[in-house]
Structure 1
Amino acid sequence: MSRVVVVGATGHIASYLVPRLVRAGHEVVALSRGTREPYHPAPEWSRVERVAVDREAEDRAGTFGARVASFAPDVVVDLVCFTAESAAQLVEALRPTRPLLLHCGTIWVHGPADRVPVTEDEPRRPVGDYGIGKAAIEELLHRETRRGGVPSVVLHPGHITGPGWPVITPAGNLDPGVWRALALGAPLPLPELGLGVLHHVHADDVAQAFERASTRPAAIGSSFHVVAEQAMTLRGLAHGVAGWFGREPVLELVDWPTFASRVGAEHARTTHEHVSRSISAGIERARTLLGYAPRYTALDALREALDWHVANGQVDLEPS
């Protein structure tokens, strides 16, 4: 049994990971900013030590790393680190005891794909603050491990999907009207001939990978993609979702200016962020070294998310 500190413990991934760790016999300390309940309730939470911590405030004060180290962890799972400065503070505090540090990255460390499937060894050419920050953290942690300091593993999820929060739709954005259009047979505009690629992953599959990484010494010093078995194009996802309702999608394949005028600037910007990368990430390394075996296809993950949204009044699929 290990003592595991999970940072960001009531978010998407940890809602599944923490119960998994408890069932595996680990002692879990769950750090989160507030008292929000996990997205996915489970009886195992009654056996978890929950601690409210404002990471941003403690990072500014220079105390967060010491706070984590004070719990004397064997393993630290960091799900909410976004800058190299924040990671460096945590690493410095953990260096005297050298627990295993598992970091949540993103497939966006790659930037736009040149070759697919993208492997973990592709050169890092991220665009945007999020991907750039995560790539810098990845390099810092691997450098630390190579030097004999804190041992680390970096997991790069795709578009995390599941019940309880907005998920990336078959149009590559967060517009709930996409679901309605596909369910009711209304026209759905898509850019780039609908051939942009998305690589979803269910949050529980990401949790599976973190749980496995915590007990695989051979994984130390490596990065791993954590995604569904296959990526899918926008039009492929649209056909799959429409099929749930016995329909063929009514797709309107348009240029970018037309797409933006139809869906609005914010949704168009989100779609462009995803389509411009079109990452299809390979998982062979995760299969081999972690024993990772995703349970959900991209469509399975989206179906579970949509069912939750409908049941909770977040998406209306009824005809007007």
Structure 2
Amino acid sequence: MSRVIVIGATGHVGTYLVPALVEAGHEVVAISRGMSDPYTPHAAWGHAERLTMDRDARERAGTFGQDIRSLKPDIVIDMICFTKPSAEMLVDALKGHVGHFLHTGTIWTHGTPVAVPTPEDAPKHPFGDYGIQKADIETYLLKTAHCEGFPATVLHPGHIVGPGWNPLNPQGNFNPEVFSILARGEQLPLANFGLETVHHVHAEDVARLFLAALSSRASAIGESFHAVSEKALTLRGYAERMSRWFGRDPVLTFLPYDQWAADRPAEDAKATWEHIARSPNCSMEKAKRLLGFVPRYTSLQAVEEAVTWLIEQGKVAPPSRAG
């Protein structure tokens, strides 16, 4: 049995990861900033040790890495590292003291794709602070693994979906009203021709991939892996399929992005641009080949589960077939 520290344990992926680790027989220490509950309750949380820790404050004090090391982990899973200095502080403290270190990256490290589906080793040209910082962390961790023997693995999730939060919608933003528009059979405007892509992943599949990496440590160390469903969706195809899931015929219109954005809330327009400008479409072949991992959920299955939760919460109109 390994002692596993999960940093950022009550987030989207941690909600599934902590119970899975407990059920696999690990001793789990779940660290979060506060005592917030996971998105989905599970009895296994009662068998995990819960600790609160303000990472930002401890990093400013220069103690965070040593604080984690003092917990005597065999394995550390870092869900919430966003800068290279933050990664360096933790790694410097853990060198020689952990058997496996797993970092949560993002498919945005790729920037704009060239050939799709994109493999992990494709040349990367990230843009935007988030993608650039995450790419810097990946480069640092893999170099440290290859040159110094630090046992690092990087997982790059796509757009994480699950019950309990708003999924990325067919316009490429997070406004749940888009699903209600489709449920009512009303006209939904999309930017451009709706042929840009988004690539979802169910949070449970990301958690499963972490466990697959732990189970295949020799193959996982020094490597990065995408964590997405097996196929990306075009926004148009996504809207059409969700319309039919709601029992409606799709009614879509298309406008150049600038015209489309002019009638949207600024937050939605910005989120859509961030997603369509990247249009990710990532390969899962490497995880299958090296780790024997295949996602359980398609993009649409993951979204449908999330939208079902939104319907149950009264945040999205129910399908017409339900009434």
* Fold shared, TM-score > 0.5 on shorter chain: yes
Deviation at 1:316, TM superposition (A): 3.9
Q: CA RMSD in A?
A: 1.2
Matched, 1:240 2:238: no
The change in CA–CA distance for 1:72 and 1:310 in structure 2 (over 3 A counts) is: same
Consecutive unaligned residues of structure 1, counting only runs of 5 or more, are none
Matched, 1:134 2:134: yes
Kindly provide the CA deviation profile for residues 144-186 of structure 1, in whole angstroms up to 9, marking residues without a partner as x.
1112342100000100000111221011001122101111111
Consecutive unaligned residues of structure 2, counting only runs of 5 or more, are none
CA distance in 1 between partners of 2:255 and 2:269 (Å): 12
CA distance in 1 between partners of 2:52 and 2:46 (Å): 16
Match of 2:108 in 1: 108
CA distance in 2 between partners of 1:78 and 1:314 (Å): 32
Letter in 1 for 2:288: R
Contact 1:98 1:149 in 2 (8 A): no
Contact 2:184 2:317 in 1 (8 A): no
**Matched residues, number:** 319
Deviation at 1:315, TM superposition (A): 2.6
Letter in 2 for 1:300: Q
Match of 1:278 in 2: 279
Letter in 2 for 1:296: Y
Deviation at 1:291, TM superposition (A): 1.5
Q: Taking every aligned residue pair, what percent have the same amino acid on both sides?
A: 50
CA distance in 2 between partners of 1:50 and 1:177 (Å): 36
Letter in 2 for 1:228: S
Match of 2:82 in 1: 82
Normalising by structure 2, we get a TM-score of 0.96
Normalising by structure 1, we get a TM-score of 0.97
Match of 1:14 in 2: 14
Deviation at 1:139, TM superposition (A): 0.7
CA distance in 2 between partners of 1:128 and 1:259 (Å): 22
Match of 2:305 in 1: 304
CA distance in 1 between partners of 2:143 and 2:258 (Å): 44
Kindly provide the CA deviation profile for residues 48-81 of structure 1, in whole angstroms up to 9, marking residues without a partner as x.
0010001111111111111111111111000000
Deviation at 1:264, TM superposition (A): 2.4
CA distance in 2 between partners of 1:318 and 1:303 (Å): 11
Contact 2:76 2:98 in 1 (8 A): no
Matched, 1:151 2:162: no
Deviation at 1:317, TM superposition (A): 4.5
Deviation at 1:313, TM superposition (A): 2.6
Letter in 2 for 1:233: T
Contact 2:73 2:98 in 1 (8 A): no
Alignment of 1:166-177 (within 5 A): 166-177=166-177
Matched, 1:179 2:183: no
Kindly provide the CA deviation profile for residues 270-309 of structure 1, in whole angstroms up to 9, marking residues without a partner as x.
1111111111000100011111111111111111111111
Kindly provide the CA deviation profile for residues 195-242 of structure 1, in whole angstroms up to 9, marking residues without a partner as x.
010000000000000011112121110110110011010011111111
CA distance in 2 between partners of 1:181 and 1:152 (Å): 44
Deviation at 1:257, TM superposition (A): 2.1
Match of 1:314 in 2: 315
Secondary structure of the structure 1 residue equivalent to 2:226:
strand
Contact 1:189 1:262 in 2 (8 A): no
Deviation at 1:99, TM superposition (A): 2.9
Alignment of 1:187-198 (within 5 A): 187-198=187-198
Contact 1:179 1:317 in 2 (8 A): no
Deviation at 1:318, TM superposition (A): 8.5
